[in-house]
Amino acid sequence: MVAEIAYGAGRLPVRLPAGVAADSVDAREPEPLASPERAIAEALRRPIDAPPLADLAKGRSSAVILVPDGTRPIPLPLVLPPILESIERSIPRERIEVLFATGMHRPVGAEEARRLLGPELADTVRWVSHDCEKTRTIGRTGRGTPVSLSETYLGADLRVAVGLVEPHLLAGFSGGRKLVAPGVIGIEAMPILHGPEIIGHRMARVGILDGNPFHEEALAIASAARLDFAVSVTIGRGRRVAGVFAGEFDRSHRAACDVVARDSRVRTRGGRDLVVTSGGGAPLDATFYQSVKGIAGAEPLLRKKGAVLLCASCREGWGSEPFTSLLAETPDLESFLAWAGREGSFRRDQWMVQHLREAMERVDVYLYSDRIDPEEARRFGLRPVSSPEEGIGAALEGGRDPSVAIIPEGPYTWAAPA
């Protein structure tokens, strides 16, 4: 049996040994919209529980539009023009700013902005990348999280978020309130929002909104931040626009989540010996940091001490320096929790280290990447392999009638045990 999974910008063939069969866990891929431009314009005219965007812009003197960075495959050159057209009926373009909601990710540079926005928009619209070290605190949530926000965001009269909705290992689903938190908040909010208590909570999982402390805290921050309007996009076959939901930021996002849940959730047998998964392909699998989401998505299907084989291009390496150094310093969950328990301990991207170490307590993690140094991978507690076939052979060695599943799209599929 040969399967193909997402890997970088293409597909990676994965060959199973003779006599070994696998179930392919495939989410439903909705057909893309025939005219996404028309659908976006209609969603802006008839939004969910909010006035039309053009009406919201009346009487306002400036606007900010929050957009994702390059880790989300949203076609901004297609989505942004109708939004700008609605706002520009009342606010001149020179008073509109696009703010890349990078959270703690690296900033978006000039060439990357041209690729993400398209040359025409990049040259005609003011844009800036969020800096989580430069924010202003306007209050606190009930949990005590500082509501510290970008000055660019706070300085705008009209605040609009544009995001992609997909399954998310911590927030339940991406998009919506996540454009604000963590998108444009300060690093001082992260010890709570990305701290061990929330990350380790049993409800902070893929597909869960109600009772999810991360979702609820992000929602509280976005509400305090007075986010006026949101546009939530879903994608389908070929990663083209399949749905557009606009309006009041929470309710329009919920409507998009309902559709994504229907399309992405796949029930299949649990207790597997091995799950072969991907980091989602480009752009998500550019770093190991983002590719960990594939491990988290596979883990619910595995038996205790089963194995996951993650195939991810990692063309940009491991990820940030804080993430990489913490991997080296905390080789297992016990050492991570000991580090996190020390007063004042916080580091950018520590939440993904926690996710990885929690997964590695329960399952063995094999990694195939043609860009990752195997010695470094071993130092971080992973089991590097030179090919998917080597990883499958090592994971199944000595087993009889193994139960195997393959998740070709990795974290874009919400795999749930039946």
pLDDT tens-digit series, residues 185-227: 999 999 999 999 999 999 999 999 999 999 999 999 999 999 9
SS3 call for 381 = coil
Is pLDDT above 90 for 390? Answer: yes
**What is the distance between the alpha carbons of residues 42 and 206, in angstroms, rounded to a whole number?**
30
Is pLDDT above 90 for 398? Answer: no
Show contacts of 336-342: CB within 8 Å, 24+ apart.
Answer: 337/196, 340/195, 340/196, 341/196
Per-residue tokens: 154:
């706070």
Per-residue tokens: 292:
């960990």
**What is the distance between the alpha carbons of residues 301 and 274, in angstroms, rounded to a whole number?**
9
pLDDT tens-digit series, residues 147-170: 999 999 999 999 999 999 999 999
Q: What is the mean pLDDT of the chain?
A: 97
**What is the distance between the alpha carbons of residues 215 and 231, in angstroms, rounded to a whole number?**
18
Ranges in the chain annotated CATH 3.40.50.11440: 36-263
**What is the distance between the alpha carbons of residues 108 and 67, in angstroms, rounded to a whole number?**
11
Confidence tier at 400 by pLDDT (50, 70, 90): confident
Q: What's the whole-model pTM score?
A: 0.94
Second-level CATH architecture of 2-27+269-417: Alpha-Beta Complex (3.90)
Provide the CATH number for the domain formed by 36-263 in this structure. 3.40.50.11440
Is pLDDT above 90 for 343? Answer: no
pLDDT tens-digit series, residues 250-309: 999 999 999 999 999 999 999 999 999 999 999 999 999 999 999 999 999 999 999 999
Write down the pLDDT at residue 358. Answer: 96
* Cα 81 from chain centroid (whole Å): 24
Ranges in the chain annotated CATH 3.90.226.30: 2-27+269-417
Is pLDDT above 90 for 399? Answer: no
SS3 call for 294 = helix
pLDDT tens-digit series, residues 27-71: 999 999 999 999 999 999 999 999 999 999 999 999 999 999 999
**What is the distance between the alpha carbons of residues 18 and 380, in angstroms, rounded to a whole number?**
32
